[in-house]
Structure 1
Amino acid sequence: MSEELQQPTQPLVEHLLELRRRLMWMVGGILLCFLALIPFAQRLYTFVAQPLMATLPAGTSMIAIDVIAPFFVPVKVTLMVAFLLSLPNTLYQMWAFVAPALYQNEKKLITPLVLSSVILFFAGMAFAYYLVFPVIFQFLAGVTPDGVSMTTDIDKYLSFILGMFVAFGATFEVPIVVVLLNRMGVVSREQLKAARPYVIVGAFVVAAVITPPDVISQVLLAVPLIVLYEAGLWFCRFVTPLEKRGGAEAAE
């Protein structure tokens, strides 16, 4: 009787132990990268702050309102960079945990999707840093009223750019979302094509919410969203939806 009670719980215990082991490897990878980068914390923050510093009026600089901000803000930047650098290890540990439960065709699909999603997320961050930030900060510097000194708190600046990084990184995942929706049979490629007018309007609405109220920065987000949506439609040509694949296998 005791053996019968223990048998159903054993697989769950094994999964929990495996999950704990994978989580420890994830945290260990982030911690290792963080310790390796912490000597360069000030340089990393200088690099992150460069888009705003380049647009500040001559003789002005950023400020630190909190007493401990000059220490903790560069540490936060370093932790963010460590997380990004350790992302391959994090994704591998997640993959190693779920892979035994996947079918072979699912493994073949998930691997390129994960790699492409990481590349697109980094591309979104790079797009925001090199193209969008200079436009945004130049616009904000131009609309600053006379007699007002444009001196930004370093902690608030970090919160702003982190939000923008996440927003642009997430919006660059549009092709992945489109391909997955088509692959799972939620919507067909014809339905996605028919939704183009709504996507265009939605792209400009999202851009208006995320970016400052200037036309250039809104276009810089809306246009890539539309282009990435079209890229997702193009990739759908090479993906067979599950319903069609199941029907083909049944016919055979």
Structure 2
Amino acid sequence: MTNEKREPTSFSHSVKVLYAKVDEQLDEAIRKFWEIETIGMMDDSDKADIDSTRAVQNFESTLQFDGIRYTVRLPWLEDDAQLPNNYHQALSRLQQIERSLKNDPHKAAHYERGMREYLEEDFVEEVTDRTGYPGRIWYLPHHAVIREDKTTTKCRIVFEGSAQYGGVTLNQHLDVGPALQNDLVKVLLRFRRFRIGLQADISKMFLQIGLNEQDRDVCRFLWRSRDVQEAPRI
């Protein structure tokens, strides 16, 4: 026993909480930095991967020349893909367009001229046998984009492969394929190598490629002139 006075004992506890966060923006910035650092020095090692894709193989195996233009099949993801018949959706969209064109005669004239040109140039054909194969009939809604600043094609008709009907779109059954555009930096570097640079434009380039007969029924669309009251043409 002792009368010695003791100081109270104190204990100190420290808890460290560590939190790890992946900065995706920083990671992307570093990746772009190294891409810029290696401009002109990276090889085209991805070309073999591009050539081996299903979309490219489909293109090469189905490409044909019919004496007028090249034709090719659509890059289907499944050979037996089934599509619902969306005729009534396409008809409803056409009626909406017709109502809007009544208030814009200038746009209506461009629209009709564009459709007439498609027929005259054999870019499209009128459907005479409307039966087709069940599950392989699809109607593409469309709209017109007017660009008055363009010297050649002022009206571009856009067909909407992403239009949805019953939870289904045409695009979801097609392979998007690899990106085939030339790298812009490489284009600019090549352009600067020589004293003279040339550029060209193929008029209506995508329309020059024909669609294989087996796939034409999934690219149907409806149209009729403003002064026609009968059922739309397919």
- TM class, shorter-length: under 0.3
Higher strand share: 2
Highest RCO, 1 vs 2 (Cα 8 Å, sep ≥ 6): 2
Higher helix share: 1
Higher radius of gyration, 1 or 2: 2
With structure 2 as the length reference, what TM-score do the two structures score? 0.21
